[in-house]
């Protein structure tokens, strides 16, 4: 377990794109001796002016301390940089903040074991660069808990309020990443479709916004009961049945068509409702549709 009263521990950041620069800046701001490396070294200039040390090679960067954070475009770049290293990562903790699939994260964890990396932690960044180091940042981690505990205090520089350990399985952080992005895009798409509908009546998106936000918040409240129902595998319709939902879904499709607005999103919503009814869930709650999502697409 890391000691919150200890002097800030050294950290290395490899990859100084938009995100890597924000990560390194957050470590520096919290007093961590920070070593950096980037393929295009000019991107380190501002960080060096603020106290970072620019390593002359990836190897030197890795060997500068016990904790190595890498954040580059993709896992091909991760391997292009780290595969050639011979033993430099032994005994060190590698935290990979590069976005990837859960399968890539698990494969890289295996690679790390074969390479005798001290510990491999996979991470997902649920934030944009300006939010790094602020209370808005959410950082997710999966992999060996003991290694996370050891470096948690250092990692908190990136997300002071939400440095979240999830699971020993290194793929879980990436799975959360895509699942949460799905939530984000669903809300955004619904807002955009609604704004298109209301736009036909001259209603501005800014006028729609407060009620759209209220509904998004109210819907978040519905999820408390649905999550429990999904885990229990039983879907009592305490609020509304899927039959009732389908009638309203049809209004959304018809209204969209009549107003010349795109119908694909409401059609998709309706199709899932219809499938749930066909599977015998007409009198169940909306949560019963989980069974349609669990199946592979036809």
Least Å distance between CB 61 and ligand NAP?
A: 12
Distances (CA, A) of 231 to 128, 156, 202, 235: 32, 31, 43, 10
Of 140 and 197, nearer to ligand NAP (C-beta) is: 140
C-beta nearest to ligand NAP: residue: 17
Count Cα atoms within 13 angstroms, Cβ side, for 159: 19
User: How many whole angstroms separate alpha carbon 57 and alpha carbon 69?
Assistant: 15
Least Å distance between CB 217 and ligand NAP?
A: 24
Phi, psi of 2 (to 5 degrees): -75, 150
Distances (CA, A) of 41 to 11, 18, 27, 34, 45: 18, 14, 19, 15, 8
Of 128 and 278, nearer to ligand NAP (C-beta) is: 128
User: How many whole angstroms separate alpha carbon 253 and alpha carbon 259?
Assistant: 10
Binding residues for ligand NAP, rule: CB under 6 A, are 15-20, 38-40, 43, 71-73, 77, 80-81, 98-99, 125, 128-129
Of 64 and 140, nearer to ligand NAP (C-beta) is: 140
Least Å distance between CB 169 and ligand NAP?
A: 20
Least Å distance between CB 154 and ligand NAP?
A: 19
Of 125 and 265, nearer to ligand NAP (C-beta) is: 125
Least Å distance between CB 270 and ligand NAP?
A: 33
Please, which residues have CB within 8 angstroms of residue 79's CB and are 6 or more apart in sequence? 108, 111
CB neighbours of residue 225 within 10 Å: 16
Of 49 and 298, nearer to ligand NAP (C-beta) is: 49
């Amino acid at each position: 377990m890391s000691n919150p009263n200890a002097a800030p521990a050294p950290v290395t950041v490899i990859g100084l794109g938009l995100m890597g620069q924000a990560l390194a800046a957050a470590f520096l701001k919290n007093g961590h001796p920070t070593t950096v490396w980037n393929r295009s070294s000019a991107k380190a200039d501002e960080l060096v002016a603020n106290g970072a040390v620019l390593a002359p090679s990836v190897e030197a960067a890795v060997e500068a301390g016990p904790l190595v954070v890498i954040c580059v475009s993709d896992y091909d770049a991760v391997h292009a940089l780290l595969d050639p290293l011979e033993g430099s990562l032994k005994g060190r903790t590698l935290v990979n903040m590069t976005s990837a699939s859960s399968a890539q994260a698990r494969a890289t964890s295996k690679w790390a074991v074969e390479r005798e990396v001290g510990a491999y932690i996979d991470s997902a960044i649920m934030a944009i660069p300006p939010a790094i180091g602020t209370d808005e940042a959410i950082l997710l981690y999966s992999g060996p808990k003991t290694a996370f505990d050891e470096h948690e205090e250092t990692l908190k520089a990136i997300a002071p309020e939400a440095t979240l350990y999830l699971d020993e399985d290194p793929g879980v952080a990436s799975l959360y990443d895509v699942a949460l992005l799905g939530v984000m895009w669903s809300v955004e798409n619904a807002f955009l479709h609604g704004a298109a509908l209301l736009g036909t009546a001259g209603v501005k998106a800014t006028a729609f916004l407060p009620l759209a936000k209220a509904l998004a918040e109210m819907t978040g409240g519905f999820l408390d009961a649905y999550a429990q129902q999904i885990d229990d595998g039983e879907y009592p319709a305490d609020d509304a049945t899927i039959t009732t939902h389908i009638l309203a879904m049809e209004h959304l499709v018809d209204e969209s068509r009549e107003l010349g607005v795109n119908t694909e999103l409401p059609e998709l919503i309706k199709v899932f409702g219809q499938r749930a009814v066909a599977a015998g869930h007409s009198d169940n709650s909306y949560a019963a549709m989980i069974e349609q999502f669990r199946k592979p697409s036809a």
